[in-house]
Structures are given as structure tokens and as C-alpha cells.
Structure 1
Amino acid sequence: MTSDVNPHSQPERHAPVYDELAAAPEFTELRRLYRGFVFPATLAFLSWYLLYILMSNYATGFMDQQVVGNINVALVFGLLQFVTTFLLAWLYSRYSESKLDPLARQLNERYEAGR
């Protein structure tokens, strides 16, 4: 028994629903809003982290200053890295809930309807 299907031929291509969604203005807006938060937040956090590293290496006199007891400026800066991380995660969560999730839900509903 032989098959009429040529294994080297390309199957007929239909534009899947996700191609339609990627071209939707809502998807473009979703990407714009996402990038509008993530890129500046990432740049700010990495700059803050780089400042911590540079000061730890080149401003040792300042970083060695005692704040309270055995707690010095370097330790405070290090702990503030954790605070910054959690603060950014919380801010992103709020931003996502208010700006990104409604658009994502709208696109998901369109996707589910087109499946």
C-alpha cells in the first residue's frame, strides 16, 4: 500500500488564530505597556545594583562606616537590594493587574473563540 502524501511537500498553511492575535492592536498595546514598565524597571534595578558593586569596590571607606553597632553602610546597601527586589515585584504585580491583565484576558477570549 502506497501513500499519496509526499513527505517533502509542505502542508497547506492556514493563518492560525495566534497570527491574527499578534497583528491585533490590543496585542501591540499589551507589548508596549509591558515594555514600558519592564525596561525602565530593569534598567533602574541594574543601575542600583551596579552602584552597590562599584561602591563596594571603590568606596570602601564609605561602605565601611558603622551605622549602628556592627552594621555598616555596605550591609544596609545589601539589604536594600532585597527590599528593592520585593518592591519591584509588588509594583509589577499591581501594574500587571491594572494594565496588562485586562488586555491579556481580552486577547485570550478572542483566542478561545477562534480555536
Structure 2
Amino acid sequence: MPRPHEEPASGDAARPGGPSRPATAEEVQQTPEFAALRRSFRRFIFPMTALFLSWYALYVLLAAFAPGFMSQRLGGSTITVGLLFGLGQFVSTFAITMIYRSWADKKFDPEAERLRERIEGAAV
């Protein structure tokens, strides 16, 4: 039998505070549900980040190494290719934000909410 100040053996009933103790962050991170949630997030974020950084790098490289192309005026106006590419950076940032928000609302947030409810429900 463990002494009062020692940690009991593993298992819910052996946790300090009994089975109603909330799960620790480390315990939650070890669950398959959390691992699946993290994988889902990474599968969305990493490609989207790579896409945006590639687009941004293209803009910077064209500005540095193709100034003639970037300074071409379109339709005889003051609007240049470089200006459109620059404005495209803002547009793509907003588009990525909206795509992420839609994805998170439909797929990520419901799964995260189910995991939170399961973890908090286990603490009751």
C-alpha cells in the first residue's frame, strides 16, 4: 500500500484525487484523438503555408531579378505588374484566412470540441 504522500500505481482509480481528476495536458496529448486532431491540423497548415511562402518568394524574386517585367505598365495606365503582384499578396492572405476559417468551422473545431467535451466529461 502506498504511503499518503506517494503516487499510487497507474490507472484512473489510482490517480491522485480518484477517477474524477481532470486529465493533464500530457495525458491528453497521448490520446489517439488528440494525435488525429494534430495530424489533421498539420495536413492543412503545412501545405497552405508552403503555398503562401512560395507565392511570396516568387514575388520577391521577380522584384529583385525581373524588374523590367514587374515594371511593365498594363493598358497604358499607372498600374504595373509589380503592383498587381503586391496587391495579390493581400488578396491571397485574406483568401487563405477565409479558407482556413471555413475548414476549421467544418472539420477541425467540431473534432476539437468533441475531444474537449470527452475530456471534461471524464472529469465529472
Report the TM-score when normalising by structure 1. Answer: 0.83
Work out the CA distance in 1 between the residues paired with 2:97 and 2:6: 44
Query: What runs of 5+ residues in structure 1 fail to find an aligned partner?
Result: 1-9
What is the aligned residue count? 106
The answer (yes or no) to whether the contact 1:67–1:73 under 8 Å persists in 2 is: yes
Structure with a larger share of its residues in helix = 1
Q: Identify which of structures 1 and 2 has the higher relative contact order when contacts are C-alpha pairs closer than 8 Å and 6+ apart.
A: 1
Aligned sequence identity (%): 44
Q: Which has the higher strand share?
A: 1
Q: 1:52 to 1:108 in 2, by over 3 A?
A: same
Range 23-32 or range 70-79, more displaced: 23-32
Q: 1:114 to 1:19 in 2, by over 3 A?
A: farther
Q: Please give the root-mean-square deviation of Cα atoms over the aligned residues, in Å.
A: 2.1
**Partners in 2 of 1:111 and 1:11 — Cα distance?**
25
Unaligned runs of 5+ in 2: 9-14, 17-21
Instruction: Find the aligned partners of 1:22 and 1:98 in 2 and give their Cα distance.
Output: 22
**1:72 equivalent in structure 2:** 80
TM-score, structure 2 length as denominator?
0.77
